[in-house]
Structure 1
């Protein structure tokens, strides 16, 4: 026991010393930190400088004043590239230093509010001084504009691979390397130089771009293009149709990533611009037995861009991997109903579009264009009662110069002659197509004596209808449960005509077969007729040649699987001779 008593007091004394020394050291450090902070209270800590100018131990405002006196704004930014040099005046980019913010930044550099971070930073400064950049402002847009101008002088545009059809052959351009200015990197370097008030030159960084295809890649690219060479991708929405074929279709290919995202996005953007629309409320103003103002209700539509892009890619794969000559895609849209529907503004049964017909008349003379527009206006707003038979001639009325028509070519007595109202048959032909589309019974229709080029610009032969009062008319019957309303849209710039028929959809479905052309006969030889009223040597063509043919198509209307109307249309076109008037009169 006496042995233990002698030992323990000694151990206790040693233990006290072990804990006492670290405690004294920690106390010393804490006191040192405390007095260090007290000493630099309100001033910037040691070993901190701004753009090479020491601000240690200075009050922020004092430091800001001294910076303002000693640091000058560089006059220009100097950029170099090989043997070229470019300058951007700092005045042009509105460079300005904020010395007050700069001094505050230096003051707060070790005063973030995080005790441990600030303490570590202050200790680090003892061994590793920090040179901070100045706070500044500049016009970033003007800087980028200046860099864009410089980039245009030092960069080489790469040639990206492409494929196109030239004279029926697939040609692949493998591309060529180029370079571009790394604007992000040079902007950062400019910012750093200016932050340190440096006017030293900056080497312009160029990024190499090499999209060139290898021989193997070019070969695969050509193989893919060959598969699409004669194919068509069709996008449809209601009556809008967008066809992509030939070089337009090949432009969607990408030799590196299957299909070009940029090209497909551009297609989606262009299509969306033509399809997207706000909801349209219905307007219906009835007066004097005719609809004076009508606007059909239309759902708003917004193309689902991502879905359409995916569908384009998917159908391109189908075209590449199948024998199909073409694929058709219904454009996906998000619809929004209008507040006022057609049935909300009338009690005549005019609820929806039940038929539509269109035609083109490119190449028409001015008088014919005038007549087409005038005649079409006669049918705008016409109502046809249930059970009534519609007569084109009755609605059209008198066709003469007294009713506003001008002289244009018509077929009369087996000849093409100038007459009042040339172009009226463009209107009857377009209405005929709309009636077929609506599934209404055709009571009377006659084809032209010969094939007229206007009516085959966007249609196969056999879908025309001629009129000539009082002997030749176009008639149809309204056998729907409600009234039908006829609307016309004549576009004299695009040279297109559209008839729309509105009414009640009773579930009927109309189909027209593909016209069958037979008995094709060549036109007679050109005929030249001497005309003493024309100067000698003057030639005027008064008839254009046309091949003769018989054209038939079947028209069938069904409802709930039951046949309600059927008719076969026959058009017997005579071969037409080209006739020229040859001047034999005195020479001019």
Structure 2
């Protein structure tokens, strides 16, 4: 009996222990699986919610300071109308360390870019793969997905609106200049300029939108420091230096004269007025050097040397010989850049005798208009007479008085006098 009882007791005790162990194991499994179950449930909810927001803004998206989560396209359009009205009525202050410059946003042509802003809002939270989007959705429950509205500047309106501010804030860089250093041409950058960064200004405006009508916008005037040194200009300077490593020979009036590299380079100037940089020679300096080196006595060439003596027109002999025709400077530079080191130059001889072949030999007629002396209008009439005296109109050609005289300026000897413009009396130089 005894052994049987002991065996029964042992069997009952072992069964109770196994049951307890099983219950604890189930609890551990449940506790371990609970986070995964919660995560799976959340993932499922997020996935369903994302699908339910097709063609709508996802939850937790803020446009500026406004929660636009769940909005449809029509609701977004209404919100865009509200934002756009705030933008156009907002005064914009562009702040510098010394002052703030005010301009209305409407004058900048500043409007909301609806298409780009709509795309940014609808895409918020939908980045990446569909498997990872639910995790982004979960994060948006605690932190808003902030989207900045995209602004658009009308280029024409912005240029006009920023013109006054830019002139005050911006300082254009000075043009580079050529200097001769140890016989070589070098490009010295112009004075640095501070240029208003319009693109950065637009980005700052996008992040500073008003949240209510009439609210002011303050943005810093970001400027970029710029010194005008162009790669194309530097390449041109290098080319000139490379083409003038040896003496340049000029054959003038049968005489050979040579300009050293540093002498020739000293005649080079930059012309930056066009769309592309170009070099030119200072012909006044170059001709002076050539005339002196060739021993040519320079005289003042009288381009209006015809004189009237009584009934006769006198055709003078050559009164000067010198270098050179106007276009020679450009031809010389082109030749040197092409590798030519010996250049022949023709002298100018002021010889008007071929005019006799046209039959110009006597005075045909003249006229005199009597006016009180020293009046402003009389001074101008006399000046025009002096300019046209000796003018030659060849057979078949036409003559324009204003075209021949050119612009009437004080530097050309004219004085202010009375004029009539569109039936109204006024005063202007050369009247």
**Structure whose residues are more often helix by fraction:** 2
More strand by percentage: 1
* Larger-Rg structure: 2
Higher relative contact order (CA 8 A, sep 6+): 2
Tell me whether the two structures share a fold, i.e. TM-score over 0.5.
Answer: no
Query: How high is the TM-score relative to the length of structure 1?
Result: 0.33
Give the alignment's TM-score, normalised by structure 2.
0.43
